[in-house]
Structures are given as C-alpha cells and as structure tokens.
Amino acid sequence: MSFVFTMSCERTSFMESTGLPSNITVRNLSYPSIVNARAYSAITTSIPTMDSDGVPCGFTIVSVRSEADGELPPEYLDAVGVSSAFMDTIRVAVEITEIGEKEKVDKDGNPVLDDDGNPVIVTLYDTTFHDTPLMNPNEAGKITIADGNMFGEGDYHFTLAVTPITDSDENTQVFRDAFHLNVMPLLPIGITYEPVQQNLVIGTDDKTVTPTLRFPKDVPSYDVRFELTSDTDKVIINGETGEISLNPEFTITKNVAFTPSIKVISNVTEEEVDFEGKEDMLTIVISSERLILNAGPLLPPALIYMPYAQNLVAGGGMKTTDADVSSGNPSVTFSLETEGDKLVIDEQTGEISINPAYTLDVDQLDLYPVVKVTSLVSYEERLFENKIRVVLSKTAVTLPKTVFNFFYPSMVNKDGFTINAPVRGGVGDGLFWKTKKKPTHDFADAERPAGVAKGHSTVMHNLVYEPTRSPLQDSWMVMDAQNLTQYDSPGYDTKAIFWYKNDLVLYLPDGSAPADIEIYITSDYTGDVTTTEWTQVNDKIKFTIEGTGTEYTGTPYPGNNLGEDPEGKKDPSIGAYEKWLRCELDLADYTAETKFTLAFRYKSYYEEEFVEGVEWGMCSGRFVFTDVNYRAEEK
C-alpha cells in the first residue's frame, strides 16, 4: 500500500488578529513637480512623501486645474489614475492535526494505483491558520497619465484626497494643488506641402499652400512660426502661415527648381526643428510661364524600353519602341550620351534608330547606349545606363526574352540587408541571424543567375544555453530598399523569391506555435522597424515544397502541425516542416515604389521565457533563409 501525505484545507479554522493602528492624521503630502513633459504624452510621477505614522494610504484625485483656465472638466481625469495601498493578509499554519485517510483518485474519479497495483492512500489533516494582516504599500500615490490624454501645453495642479488604509473614509485629508505638472508642446516630426510641386511665376503674387505639420500624435492645435534656412535669395516665407512666395529681387533666365529647407520654431518654448529640403516635402519651380506640375517627379526615376533587347537591321529603316518615362513628369527630352556615332534618338519620343552616317561592317553588334533625359521644367538631367540593348545586324535576328535578377543579396557577406532587433532576448551571436559556413541546399541552383556564386544561409535560432529555453524575441532581417519603377510595365512579371526552412519547434502547452516568421513590406523604411508603417503579406506568399509540386498560398503554420490546434491553423497534410520552401511574392502591385523594402520578422508569441525541458536545440523555432532574389522577367 502506498501513502501520500497531503495537507487538506477542507476543514479549517481561523484566529482573528487585532491591534491595527487607527485615527492617523496624514500630514505634509509632497510630490516633486514634473516640468517639460510633452503634451498629450504618457506621464508617471514618483511616489510622494508624507507623514502618516508609517501607515500606507489610499489616494483619490479630487480635481485638476490649469493656471490658464481654472478647474477643468472631469473628462480630463479619464486618462489619469493613482495607486493606492490596500490591506492584505498572510496566512500562517499554527496547528496541524491528522483526521483520517482516503484513496486518491484522478480527475475522472478513478482510483490511482502505484507501480505494484495498490491504491495510493492520501492522509487528511485539519489545519488551523492564523491570518495576519499585511499592509501593502502598492506604490501608493504614484500618478499615471496615459498616452493620448487631454493635457496640452500649460501648468496643471492636482488636488488629492488621502485616507490611511486602517481608517474609514471619515478620516480623509484633502491636499489642494499637491502635484504640479508643467507640460510643453509637442514638436513636429514632419512637414509637407500638398501638392508637393508648387509653381511660382515671375511677375505674379503666387504663393505656395500652407504646410501641414505632422506630430508624434494627434494635436488639436499648435503655436509655431516658420523660417527658411536655404534659398532665401529666391523665395521668402510667411512666418505665421508657412506660405512661400517669390523674393521680389529674384530674376531668372530659365526655370529654376529647388527643395527649400525650413525651420519650425515653437512660440511657447522657442525650441527649433529643422527640416532639410527634399522632393517628397516640397519642390518649388520658378518660371516665366505657368507650368503643368505634379505629374510625377520632374525627372523620372525610371526609363523603360520594352522589350529590353531590340534588333535594328541595317538599311531597314527600323527604330526601337518609345521610351517609357511614365514614372515622372512627361515634359522631358532625350539625347544619347554614348554611341552617338552609331545611333540617333528622337528627342521627343526616345525612339532609337541607326545613324544614317554609320556603316555596319560586322554581322551583328550589341550596343548599350546611355540615354540622357532632360526635364523641360527644371532643366535637370539624368543619365540612364543599361536600359536598352540595341542589336545591330545585317539580317533580322530573334532575341530571347530578358530576365533581370536585379537584387540578389549575399548572405555570406551580409550584403543587401540589415538586422534590427527591438527585443533580442539574449541569444548569442552564434545563433542570432548567423551566416552558416557551408553552402546551402541545391534546390535553388537552377534559378541562380550566372555570376552569382552559390550562397550560404542565414539562421535565426531562438535558443539560450543552460538551461535550454527560448527568450522573448522580436528581431528583423530587413532587405535594402529597391527602386521597382524600372519594371513598372505590363511587359514584366516581377517577383520577390526566397527560400526558407523551419525546424526545431516545440509547441506551447496549449498546442499553439510559440513563434513564427512574419513577412512585411513598406515603401518608407525609416531605419527603425518600430517607427515604420508596415504591411504584413504572409497571406500573399505562394510557396512550393523544395520548388516543385503543389503551390500553396500563405506561409505554412510553424512546426509539424500535429497535436492540439487552438487556432485552427494546422494542416499536417502539407508536410512543409523541416523542408526547404521556395516562396514568391508577386510585386506587380508595388512596381510604382521607389523605396520598396521587404522584411522578415522573427516574433515570439508567449510571455516571459518559454522553457522547453527537452533535448538541446528544440525551441520556439529555428528559421533558415537563402537565395533572396528580386526578378523581373519579360512576358
């Protein structure tokens, strides 16, 4: 017969405690003032000091007033809280008496047997406890004001009521203006003019629109002034409104385009924020006649010939297709920077033909002319290299369709991407987005372009030694931004291709995945993943296992997909676990972007640390990446 000795609380008696202090008079409540807090932002005070004979107190905020407007409406306190002490108990066993035995049963009521088949016997006890009062200070008096509150710039005073927790509400003292809060205005983090291209015509009273300021959070009003820090010979700025107009002394002989830099100054604090001029903030074009603007950048970011390779037969009077500059303002002209002895270009359409003065003396000649594009608005120039392959021949030749692998970062050199880790979790360098020393799998060999060596893989293994455990993790592998406008044509099929594998996953106790790779895109990466606006695209990814067979849409659920499925996402029939997956993201919807960025995020879904208690290596999941490749293929 087996015995298990347990303490049962089914029969319990208690002893009362007495002697708590009462009739306490609270005196000298004092908070350190908070100055230079930012408007509408989260604020936390320190714990105040007071004389209460050592007894913690309960706190209530009675009211708040501003020096400008007096007592404020109650809704100002909706975002304000204050901590209070409270009474608790600590239970101590003072007497334990054995009262009998019973057989142990499981959760279904069945007897529990030992290894010899005998019932397990539980010993029952009657326990007498002493509940001792405990006064929990609980950071009493700490005031917290949530982000997005109503406190704009100004000075505020809080009145609080304080009651010792050993007394009733009748023994409450009120401390008027006990806490002083000084709030400064938010400073802008961005400035834009809409539309971003503004035309000022000589001899008129033209002026730009007023700018829009962007703040870290919504503000109902602001008090600032504006100054120009560049191009003051050309324009002047209205300090109150930010409108920009012509400097009366400025004259032109041809159109002038520029991006002025602007300083925004707080009239409350005299703090300054400088915004360097850039095209997506404001471009001003000064001209003698009215221009058509805002049809794209003044100089197009891309020059497209479709198809890329074109055949011109000597003596055939042939010419290439027009140049596509639809990514920018169409008011441009074209000229040849190279190969002018062999080719000529139509300055209006960009069509290229054989120079009548040139005689082809070989059967076939490949040329890659550099094309200069000049804006008729700003007279700026841009050179475009390797945007067309012109094949001169004596007889017609058939040219294959062109495939551009225009972005193929090197994993081994860590070239073409960066690692950004808001929460690294202590994972060592040997496991944290680490490049493996050996070359990767063979499945991508067929698609790898000539000149690109077989690469290595990058591994993210969320594991910390001794003991085996997975800490919280939020880390990103962010690809370098790419200009996709060069392939913004219905003649291209443009995709982002990558390979990855998932293994070493141990599910959480409820059967759900502890972590996954989340895939994001953006057109405006700030350099900080936490301040960038991202769009998750896992559901748009198409993948095949080892590059063949059935194509699935949406990245697979991590792990082997067996066991409990609380999220309803497991599908063990796919069989993607521990296999290399060839993934594609169709870029057709993003080819107008000049700064397209793709990112892979390792994100844990549990709180604190996930301790596995199994053999080394099993963790919240390991992910291995290879052969990231942006490819544009002519249709």
Copy the structure tokens of residue 355: 């120079």
Cα three-residue angle 288-294-295, rounded to 5 degrees: 110
For the entire predicted model, the pTM comes to 0.70
* Mean pLDDT within 401-405: 96
617 band by pLDDT with thresholds 50, 70 and 90: low
Same domain, 465 and 503: yes
Same domain, 362 and 268: no
**Nearest-CA neighbor of 335 among 321, 349, 324, 325?**
349
Last residue of a domain, one of 160, 183, 206: 183
All residues at 6 or more sequence positions from 359 whose CB lies less than 8 Å from its CB, including other chains: 314
Calpha distance 319→310 (Å, rounded): 9
Q: Give the model's pLDDT for residue 610.
A: 79
Instruction: Give the CATH number of the domain where residue 254 resides.
Output: 2.60.40.60
Looking at every residue in the chain, the average pLDDT score rounds to 91
The pLDDT of residue 616 is above 60: no
Phi/psi at 198 (nearest 5 deg)?
-125, 130
The pLDDT of residue 465 is above 80: no
The pLDDT of residue 529 is above 80: yes
Same domain, 20 and 142: yes
Last residue of a domain, one of 287, 322, 351: 287
Is the model more confident about 9 or about 633? 633
Neighbours of 284 (CB within 10 A): 24
Q: Is residue 262 part of a domain?
A: yes
Which of 13-17, 164-168, 395-399 has the highest average model confidence (pLDDT)? 395-399
The pLDDT of residue 17 is above 70: no
Q: Each residue of 212-228: pLDDT tens digit?
A: 999 988 888 899 999 99
452 band by pLDDT with thresholds 50, 70 and 90: confident
- Classified as helix, coil or strand, 471 is coil
The pLDDT of residue 116 is above 90: no
Calpha distance 181→33 (Å, rounded): 6
Question: Which of 171-180, 465-474, 544-553, 563-572 is predicted with the least confidence, judged by mean pLDDT?
Answer: 465-474
The pLDDT of residue 482 is above 70: yes
Phi/psi at 588 (nearest 5 deg)?
-60, -35
Q: Give the model's pLDDT for residue 10.
A: 36
Same domain, 521 and 480: yes
Same domain, 424 and 527: yes
Strand (E) positions, 462-513? 469-470, 474-479, 492-505
The one-letter amino acid at 133: P
The pLDDT of residue 467 is above 70: no
Q: Give the model's pLDDT for residue 80.
A: 97
Q: Contact, 226 vs 267, CB < 8 A? A: no
* Burial degree of 247 (CB within 10 A; 0-12, 13-18, 19+): middle
Neighbours of 47 (CB within 10 A): 15
Same domain, 209 and 103: no
Same domain, 239 and 267: yes
* Mean pLDDT within 120-126: 85
Q: Is residue 303 part of a domain?
A: no
6 band by pLDDT with thresholds 50, 70 and 90: very low
Last residue of a domain, one of 183, 213, 235: 183
Q: Each residue of 595-606: pLDDT tens digit?
A: 999 999 999 999
The one-letter amino acid at 235: V
Q: Is residue 296 part of a domain?
A: no
The pLDDT of residue 120 is above 80: yes
Instruction: Give the CATH number of the domain where residue 458 resides.
Output: 2.60.120
- Classified as helix, coil or strand, 367 is strand
Copy the structure tokens of residue 435: 């490049």
Q: Is residue 277 part of a domain?
A: yes
Handedness of CA 48, 51, 53, 58 (dihedral sign): negative
Same domain, 200 and 152: no
Q: Is residue 302 part of a domain?
A: no
**What is each CA distance from 172 to 52, 60, 64, 76, 469, in whole angstroms?**
12, 10, 18, 23, 50
Q: Is residue 292 part of a domain?
A: no
Integer-rounded Cα radius of gyration of the chain = 36
* Mean pLDDT within 98-109: 85
* Mean pLDDT within 417-437: 90
Q: Contact, 416 vs 410, CB < 8 A? A: yes
- Name the pairing type of β-strands 403-407 and 581-586: unpaired
Neighbours of 169 (CB within 10 A): 9
The pLDDT of residue 570 is above 90: yes
Q: Is residue 298 part of a domain?
A: no
The one-letter amino acid at 9: C
Q: Give the model's pLDDT for residue 71.
A: 97
Q: Give the model's pLDDT for residue 309.
A: 98
* Mean pLDDT within 606-620: 72
DSSP result, 540-558: G-EEEETTEEEEEESPPPS
All residues at 6 or more sequence positions from 114 whose CB lies less than 8 Å from its CB, including other chains: 2, 120
Same domain, 156 and 195: no
Q: Each residue of 230-280: pLDDT tens digit?
A: 999 999 999 999 999 999 999 999 999 999 999 999 998 999 999 999 999
Q: Each residue of 27-78: pLDDT tens digit?
A: 999 999 999 999 999 999 999 999 999 899 999 999 999 999 999 999 999 9
Same domain, 418 and 473: yes
Plot region of 589 (φ>0 → left; ψ -120 to 50 → alpha; else → beta): alpha
Percentage of residues in the chain having pLDDT higher than 90:
75
Q: Is residue 294 part of a domain?
A: no
Phi/psi at 181 (nearest 5 deg)?
-120, 125
How many domains does the structure of the chain reveal?
4
All residues at 6 or more sequence positions from 156 whose CB lies less than 8 Å from its CB, including other chains: 64, 65, 66, 67, 72, 180, 181, 182, 183
- Classified as helix, coil or strand, 539 is helix
Q: Give the model's pLDDT for residue 4.
A: 42
Domain with 210 in it:
190-287
The pLDDT of residue 16 is above 70: no
Same domain, 365 and 451: no
Neighbours of 594 (CB within 10 A): 17
Neighbours of 388 (CB within 10 A): 23
Q: Give the model's pLDDT for residue 118.
A: 87
Same domain, 33 and 52: yes
